Amino acid sequence: MASDGQGAKRHQSRILRTSRLVSPEGSPGEWEVGPVNEDLLSRIAAIDQHALDAWRLGRLRDELRQRDFAGALLADPMNLRYATGTRNMAIWTMHAPGRYAFVATEGPVVLFEFSATKHVTAGGHFDEMRSSTPWIYFLAGPRTGEKATVWADEIASLLARHGGGNRRLAVDRCDPPGAERLLAHGIQLFDVQEAIEQARRIKSPEEIACLRLSMEVCDLAIDRMRAALRPGITENQLWAVLHETNIAHGGEWIEARALVSGERTNPWFQECGGRVIEAGDIVAFDTDLVGPHGYLADISRSYVCPDRRPSDTQRMLYALAQEQVLFNMGLLRPGLGFRDFADRCWRVPEGFMPNRYMMMVHGVGFVDEYPSVAFAQDWDAWGYDGVFEENMVVSVESYMGEAGGHEGVKLEQQVLITADGAVALSRTPFVDAIEP
């Protein structure tokens, strides 16, 4: 039998011990960072990566065929991951592209990786890996034109070999030096985003499992945020709990700094900062959490900081936001058109229309994706039609804050559209959630 000391060591190797974060000077107490959930980690690791990758590449190729594209040239890290199952410095390469992939519609997938990081993506879903030729100014400097020529010559050679005479290439990110050189090869360039967004709109069983796991991480983080919420904590410190829980469970990043309190909750779209949260403040947040396997958990909740009861105004704001989300969720079903949804949706009271959220519903996958469904009032400016389908995942939005009002409430629910309607993916409740 192991000694108590040996048993403790084994326990420590299985889970991260609870630690404590020191509160800011002048703030009472401390709050805990919880242990890693080992069961959740095990289920995240059990995802069938091969099935995930094969489905996504197949979906993309189907869309490329429908548009008569010979292939796609992808540099956006979201698109690269969808097509190849690889990630490598995703945030950095969003602003410093230097890795890319050529996806032949009828042929190989060739991943171009930084020479020094090939080992990172060696197990991805592709046929060949080559060293990339980055031509961004940061890396190429005054040799940008030279490097862009080498880059374009290699892409043109692949298209000639695997395009079957088709010169129609779909691309995502291609600045003028590269685009000019591809055009000089007689290649026709098209925007790939429609094809890849349409591919993403329907989720496979593995993708749905990933989205559920990301939401479990998100729900756990919200439990810990609510436990940490007390007078004296800052917005940034509370927001850090969301990050810590996500990263500890294999998650990746948070898309925005959308956690605010008190008067900073109206209007929406302010970023969290060092404001000290006080008793009775509304604290509203939008998770925008890119979790395990790169999938999004995108919900919003609003709470009242403890030690003071919610005011009648706060209760009213919360009730309106909850009613909007639940009513609009109840409309969702396969076959419902976007315009039909907009015409039938919950009507925002006039005093709240100026500060309404920018959309009613948006798609969810790696990040926010197609579709974005506009309010009927915004249809002429931003609306477009389409149809909700089974196995789409969407988030249903609400923000309630009167023009010139003191506070606002943000609520949002992420749902899976099934044959029987919308099913919420989050277990974090709405009902009575405003009670401290």
The domains located in the chain, with CATH, are: 49-200 (3.40.350.10), 205-424 (3.90.230.10)
User: DSSP label at 273?
Assistant: -
3-state secondary structure of 277: coil
Please tell me the predicted confidence (pLDDT) of residue 360.
97
**Rounded distance, CA 258 to CA 300, Å?**
9
Nearest C-alpha neighbor of 248 from the set 38, 12, 39, 36: 36
Please tell me the predicted confidence (pLDDT) of residue 23.
45
Q: Which pair of structure tokens corresponds to residue 35? A: 């242990």
Q: Which pair of structure tokens corresponds to residue 306? A: 């403890």
CA atoms in the 13 A half-sphere facing the CB of 116: 3
Please tell me the predicted confidence (pLDDT) of residue 14.
34
3-state secondary structure of 23: coil
Please tell me the predicted confidence (pLDDT) of residue 430.
84
Is residue 241 within 8 Å of 194, Cβ to Cβ?
A: no
Nearest C-alpha neighbor of 374 from the set 353, 360, 395: 360
User: DSSP label at 402?
Assistant: -
**Rounded distance, CA 393 to CA 371, Å?**
10
- The model's pTM is 0.91
Is residue 415 within 8 Å of 390, Cβ to Cβ?
A: no
**Rounded distance, CA 48 to CA 293, Å?**
11
Tens digits of pLDDT across the chain (436 residues): 333 344 333 333 333 333 344 444 444 445 566 789 999 999 999 999 999 999 999 999 999 999 999 999 999 999 999 999 999 999 999 999 999 999 999 999 999 999 999 999 999 999 999 999 999 999 999 999 999 999 999 999 999 999 999 999 999 999 999 999 999 999 999 999 999 999 999 999 999 999 999 999 999 999 999 999 999 999 999 999 999 999 999 999 999 999 999 999 999 999 999 999 999 999 999 999 999 999 999 999 999 999 999 999 999 999 999 999 999 999 999 999 999 999 999 999 999 999 999 999 999 999 999 999 999 999 999 999 999 999 999 999 999 999 999 999 999 999 999 999 999 999 999 866 666 5
Q: Which residues contact 364 (CB under 8 A, 6 or more apart)?
A: 211, 296, 298, 393, 394, 395, 414
**Rounded distance, CA 339 to CA 34, Å?**
44
**Rounded distance, CA 384 to CA 374, Å?**
8
**Rounded distance, CA 186 to CA 171, Å?**
15
Q: Across-strand partners of 362?
A: 372, 395
Please tell me the predicted confidence (pLDDT) of residue 119.
96
Q: Which residues contact 190 (CB under 8 A, 6 or more apart)?
A: 67, 69, 168, 169, 170, 171
